[in-house]
């Protein structure tokens, strides 16, 4: 019911801590850590309600004893609430991981003159819109008017929202409707085949111009 920071290490004084996260979910609520990530880890609806209630309680204790409002901050729900923890206890600043990576590699400077950008992830769905790799790349490429093709293993409900974020097309490598245990055995060949189809289409359009 309370937080005692009296033994906080003085080594943290004056240190700037930046935490990179791949989603912008808040700690609590319908888009929070419990509601979004709990079911992925096996939590049923009753568990999700309990977990969310407990995180809300934690956020209130943090507000009362540390003076930090973290429940609704973007990224606070990342890694099951670790985003909130590093902000509350380490005074960290959150920033999207993909933005940091793209800046580090000089991504924007590579876009002029590019025909298209190929990116991907294992599964694209509604959660991907919360700031994961594909969407971060799509935002940058859209500013440069470069098409983006997402090559993914699975296309799930909510993926269509990626088109509004700058993704031009989504191509699945899963060429057969089989369980993951079966699909994984030919994942490399399926990826190569999907990319071959994609470049065949590109070459056909290029030849017709």
CATH of the domain at 87: 3.90.1510.10
Q: Do 134 and 63 reside in the same domain of the chain? A: no
3 within domain boundaries: no
Examine the domain organization and report whether 55 and 85 are in the same domain.
yes
Q: Which of 97, 131, 161 corresponds to the end of one domain?
A: 97
63 and 115 housed in the same domain: no
159: pLDDT confidence band, cut at 50, 70 and 90?
A: confident
Same domain, 176 and 147: yes
Domain end call among 97, 114, 149:
97
Are 74 and 99 contacting, i.e. CB atoms less than 8 angstroms apart? no
Q: How confident is the model at residue 28 (pLDDT cuts 50, 70, 90)?
A: very high
Residue 6 lies in a domain: no
Count: domains in the chain: 2
**Rounded Cα distance, 169 and 84, in Å:** 34
Token pair, residue 113, equals: 């003159």
> Same structural domain for residues 123 and 80?
no
Confidence of residue 204 (pLDDT cuts 50, 70, 90): low
Same domain, 203 and 111: yes
- Of 98, 102, 92, the C-alpha closest to 129 is 98
pLDDT mean across residues, the chain: 90
pLDDT, position 68: 94
User: Per-residue pLDDT for 183 more than 70?
Assistant: yes
- Please indicate, yes or no, if residue 197 is contained in any of the structural domains: yes
User: Is the same domain home to 125 and 146?
Assistant: yes
Residues 113, 21 within the same domain: no
Confidence bin at 125 (pLDDT 50/70/90): confident
Same domain? For 120 and 184 the reply is: yes
User: What are the tens digits of pLDDT across the range 79-89?
Assistant: 889 999 999 99
Let me know if residue 45 belongs to a domain: yes
| Confidence check: pLDDT of 37 > 70 | yes
Could you tell me if 24 and 131 are in contact, meaning their C-beta atoms sit under 8 angstroms apart?
yes
Runs of H (alpha helix) within the chain: 33-37, 45-66, 82-90, 97-104, 107-110, 133-143, 180-183, 187-208
- Domain edge (last residue) among 46, 72, 97: 97
Identify whether residues 82 and 140 lie together within a single domain: no
- Flag whether pLDDT at 205 surpasses 90: no
Cα separation values, 148 from 89, 100, 117, 129, 139, Å: 39, 19, 5, 15, 10
Confirm if 32 and 26 have CB atoms less than 8 A apart. yes
Specify the pLDDT at position 175: 67
Phi, psi of 169 (to 5 degrees): -155, 155
Say how far apart CA 34 and CA 47 lie, in whole Å.
9
Q: Given this model, what pLDDT does residue 48 score?
A: 97
User: Do 87 and 170 share a domain, yes or no?
Assistant: no
Q: Which pLDDT tens digit goes with each residue over 133-150?
A: 999 999 999 999 999 999
Output DSSP code: residue 151: E
Q: Does this model's pTM top 0.75?
A: no
- Give the range of the structural domain holding residue 43, as residue numbers without chain letter: 13-97
């Amino acid at each position: 019911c309370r937080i005692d920071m009296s033994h906080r290490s003085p080594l943290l004084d004056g240190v700037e801590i930046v935490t990179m996260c791949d989603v912008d979910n808040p700690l609590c609520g319908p888009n929070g850590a419990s509601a979004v990530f709990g079911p992925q880890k096996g939590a049923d609806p009753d568990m999700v309600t309990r977990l969310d209630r407990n995180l809300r309680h934690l956020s209130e204790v943090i507000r009362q004893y540390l003076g930090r409002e973290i429940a609704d901050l973007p990224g606070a729900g990342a890694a099951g609430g670790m985003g909130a923890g590093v902000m509350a206890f380490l005074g960290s600043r959150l920033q999207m991981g993909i933005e940091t990576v793209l800046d580090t590699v000089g991504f924007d400077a590579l876009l002029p003159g590019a025909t298209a950008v190929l990116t991907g992830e294992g599964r694209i769905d509604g959660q991907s819109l919360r700031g994961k790799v594909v969407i971060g790349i799509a935002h940058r490429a859209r500013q440069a008017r470069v098409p983006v093709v997402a090559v993914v293993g699975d296309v799930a409900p909510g993926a269509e929202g990626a088109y509004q974020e700058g993704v031009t097309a989504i191509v699945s490598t899963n060429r057969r409707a089989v369980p993951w245990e079966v699909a994984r055995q030919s994942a490399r060949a399926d990826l190569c085949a999907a990319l071959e189809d994609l470049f065949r289409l590109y070459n056909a359009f290029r030849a017709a111009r």
